[in-house]
Amino acid sequence: MDEERALYIVRAGEAGAIERVLRDYSDKHRATFKFESTDEDKRKKLCEGIFKVLVKDIPTTCQVSCLEVLRILSRDKKVLVPVTTKENMQILLRLAKLNESDDSLEKVSEFPVIVESLKCLCNIVFNSQMAQQLSLELNLAAKLCNLLRKCKDRKFISDIKCFDLRLLFLLSLLHTDIRSQLRYELQGLALLTQILESAFSIKWTDEYESAIDRNGPPLSPQETDCAIEALKALFNVTVDSWKAHKESDSHQFRVMAAVLRHCLLIVGPTEDKTEELHSNAVNLLSNVPVSCLDVLICPLTHEETAQEATTLDELPNDKTAEKETVLKNNTMVYNGMNMEAIHVLLNFMEKRIDKGSSYREGLTPVLSLLTECSRAHRNIRKFLKDQVLPPLRDVTNRPEVGSTVRNKLVRLMTHVDLGVKQIAAEFLFVLCKERVDSLLKYTGYGNAAGLLAARGLLAGGRGDNWYSEDEDTDTEEYKNAKPNINLITGHLEEPMPNPIDEMTEEQKEYEAMKLVNMLDKLSRPCH
């Protein structure tokens, strides 16, 4: 009945009546995602009627009401089949300001129409294969990039940017050709990176270093959503970049990595939004060529150096790790390099482990990223080794027992998911410079057997990659306990009591005679 009444007014009513009836329909069905099949024809006709209204000269408020209902109806794939035409797509493109190349976004009153049009296009492109083909024909990706350039530095049109980016993400997800067009023809890598810079309000202090305001407010919800959509679109554009990239692209990838470093060091409006933001940053960092990830760490500035509180050389050996520096403002520093971003990644990884579910989707990207960073960049590996595998002191417990990051990772080495246990073992192996003896010291032979068998290293040795030859230093506690450590379990076991000590002389004599008889039987020839 709702569709029938709305259809009657849309066909015969004036703009005011149309606006009222469609607003009522929108309010009633705002949360509707499943529709009755009996009213399918009426919904199709209502869609067609709305498109006919949208080509007329009607007030902005009426346009918004029409688009809101169209957005709700576009959730039904079957309804879209007859209404997804080139003419109807062009109507939405015009309303979304995607057709005017020179028209600036000055009329604030038009912003709701633009946003609702973009929302409709998102639903229609996602649910209709015909719309996806028309998007190619209409060169929608180029039009979206043009709109992004109009609002790149504007502060009050976040919704337009957000849904423009979401539509760009959908197009690049559904069409591999559009990824290539965005990357090379439309300079999408630079454009989307600039959108992130704008969202984060980045101020550059050096070529690849940005100023971090540690006391500043969190990112606003609108800018956080824009940043997340831009990160997802960039992921699609760069999805094959780690395999091969031109040397001329290195600068752009380093700029993007520097922006992502900034992203890791800021927070969103809520803890959940911060995690979502950082999760998408991790996914994108996985696409960056590993040679360009050196910008995740940077040398200390003179101001930071002046803030140093303590250094390794000033502390006793039993209370520090190699060359770590802690600043008064809690900046993580190692060997003169700012390691804040790597520390955030490490904490992010530990939180994903603690969740205890969805390891393949949630944990493996960050573990893989840290593994590749450690393999390619010595300072990152040494810092992570210091944090994850500090010098052993207490070896009374098994390596998998406890609450440290090392204990959690060792437990993952025997996880039921093959991909999860492989990447967890690989990460620890790389931190140990791919040396079997060093890995066994921290994990025990039983936990490492799967990795060593896959690598053909059950008999010992080391992996194929080259690492520096600096030696690990064992603590006095470990050296004293080492002779009694069980190599299979990786922990100190109490010496087993000698059963002979508790025997009487008669029992000893009896056991000795049993042994003599057994040896006599073994020595007799078989008949």
Rounded Cα–Cα distance for residues 367 and 276 (Å): 17
Residue 503 DSSP code: -
Structure confidence at residue 52 (pLDDT): 92
Structure confidence at residue 467 (pLDDT): 65
Structure confidence at residue 469 (pLDDT): 64
Residue 309 DSSP code: E
Structure confidence at residue 144 (pLDDT): 95
Rounded Cα–Cα distance for residues 227 and 215 (Å): 21
CA atoms within 13 A on the CB side of 399: 28
CA angle, 164 then 279 then 325, to 5°: 130
Rounded Cα–Cα distance for residues 238 and 193 (Å): 12
Rounded Cα–Cα distance for residues 362 and 194 (Å): 27
Rounded Cα–Cα distance for residues 142 and 184 (Å): 12
Do residues 373 and 297 lie in contact, with contact meaning Cβ atoms separated by under 8 Å? Answer: no
Rg, the chain, Cα only: 32
Cβ neighbors of 6 (< 8 A, separation 6 or more) are 21, 22, 25, 46, 69
Residue numbers of the chain with a pLDDT score lower than 50: 309-323, 325, 327-328
Rounded Cα–Cα distance for residues 46 and 7 (Å): 5
CA angle, 381 then 383 then 384, to 5°: 65
| Token code pair at residue 406 | 């090392």
Structure confidence at residue 243 (pLDDT): 60
Strand pairing of 332-334 and 337-338?
A: antiparallel
Rounded Cα–Cα distance for residues 474 and 389 (Å): 12
Rounded Cα–Cα distance for residues 151 and 146 (Å): 9
| Token code pair at residue 474 | 């064992």
Residue with tokens 């609002």: 151
The model carries a pTM of 0.86
Cβ neighbors of 498 (< 8 A, separation 6 or more) are none
Do residues 60 and 117 lie in contact, with contact meaning Cβ atoms separated by under 8 Å? Answer: no
Cβ neighbors of 455 (< 8 A, separation 6 or more) are 463
| Token code pair at residue 215 | 């006391």
Q: CA dist 472 to 37, 388, 424, 433, 438, Å?
A: 69, 14, 21, 10, 8
Rounded to a whole number, what is the largest CA-CA distance in the chain?
114
| Token code pair at residue 294 | 């050196």
